[in-house]
Amino acid sequence: MARVTGLSVLTAYGHGPDALWAGLSSREPATSPVTRFATERHRAHHAATVPGAPDPYEELERLVGEACDQAELSPADRAGTPLVLALHAGPDTAALAVELAGACGLREVLTVHTAACAASNTAVAEAAHLIGTTAERRAVVAGASFVDASMFAAFDSAGILAPDGVCRPFSAGREGPVLGDGAAAVVLEHTGTAPPWAAVRGWGNAAEAHHVCRPHPDGRGPAAAVTTALRRAGITGDRIGYLNAHATATPAFDAGEAAAIVSALSPHGVRVPVSSTKALHGHCLEASGLVELAVCALAFRHGELPVNANHLAPDEDCPLDLVLEPGRAPQSRYALSLNSGFGGVCTALLLAMP
């Protein structure tokens, strides 16, 4: 088990956990017309962005520093701590990652995960595994994704993005996601002096290999990831108090994920509270898992589950207990965070709250 002793986050709601929680609590999406680049030739025109055009590595340096300070790591602690990253890969990613580790005073970069929208969850799973096997005493996990013209064009040309700029996870009439800026860093430790945000009790990875960009209708990949996470943690499905879903509001993916939740948590899957906060902070791609880990930790700290925003009406393909009204409390101290990506990759984290 790995404890989360430091946590820092940046979303379109602003910098820090408090800004993220205030945005989630408002139930107002952080979406606005895109001004970072031209969109007049696109079908979609909205995203959840921070002002300007942030540099991912500069933002990660700041966030890693904040997380390490919060975890009360000394310079000597940092010098013995590795970095695990989740980023969209480019020709200079390896060199920039090494520079980032050095700038943060960390020992080395172990891995840069690029497994699409499951990258962050997979990075956290790797770090938790290393700590659990005592290969490492602690690790820093960080990830970032900022909406840029090329990624926006790729999603838009595929007809994936919501044309009206409204993401409606698991809802009838859903038309796709809204992309969002996101970056976060966490410190995972076997033991530590700082009060923990949460603990990573289990994780599961799967690759259903059904289709490069379409999920299996039965949700075989996400179901396998959830089942493995439960087994590794020694937790049964009836003990899950909340599930933060991947749900990007695409018809096929949401239906497949709903099928996975129902089957993997059977017979309790239809009763576990579920929401996808991508409707609020946007789809942060490679940073999704870290942002949503922060969401889970904040929800349990405040004793209130985030709503599944923008819901219009039930969809018979998504027979879930969606969190549609504010004020609902977690049912237990355990949460699942689930993320999937193109190519059929899926990673589930099972989190235990203090």
197-235 per-position pLDDT tens digit: 999 999 999 988 766 667 777 889 999 999 999 999 999
pLDDT score of 116: 83
* Radius of gyration in angstroms for the set of CA atoms belonging to the chain, rounded to a whole number: 18
Ranges 81-85, 103-107, 112-116, 138-142: which has the least confidence: 112-116
For residue 111, pLDDT over 70 is answered with yes
Distance CA 68, CA 43 (A): 41
Within 10 Å of residue 232's Cβ, how many Cβ atoms? Answer: 18
Q: Are 9 and 291 contacting, i.e. CB atoms less than 8 angstroms apart?
A: yes
Of the residues 46, 246, 281, 311, only one is catalytic, namely: 246
pLDDT score of 211: 67
In angstroms, the Cα distances linking 188 to 103, 158, 185, 263 are: 19, 37, 10, 30
pLDDT tens string 296-334: 999 999 999 999 999 999 999 999 999 999 999 999 999
Q: Among this protein's residues, is 283 annotated catalytic?
A: yes
Closest listed residue to residue 178, CA positions, set 86, 89, 294, 48? 48
pLDDT category at 160 given cuts 50, 70, 90 is: very high
pLDDT category at 237 given cuts 50, 70, 90 is: very high
Calculate mean pLDDT across residues 133-139: 95
In angstroms, the Cα distances linking 318 to 174, 239, 252 are: 12, 21, 10
Find the Cα–Cα–Cα–Cα dihedral 278, 188, 121, 324, rounded to 10°: -30
For residue 238, pLDDT over 70 is answered with yes
Q: Among this protein's residues, is 210 annotated catalytic?
A: no
Of the residues 68, 104, 117, 296, only one is catalytic, namely: 117
Residue ranges of domains in the chain, CATH in brackets: 2-189 (3.40.47.10), 198-352 (3.40.47.10)
Q: Are 138 and 189 contacting, i.e. CB atoms less than 8 angstroms apart?
A: yes
Calculate mean pLDDT across residues 155-163: 95
Of the residues 88, 216, 281, 283, only one is catalytic, namely: 283
pLDDT score of 218: 81
Closest listed residue to residue 330, CA positions, set 263, 258, 240? 240
Q: Token pair of 335, please?
A: 């949460």
pLDDT score of 214: 73
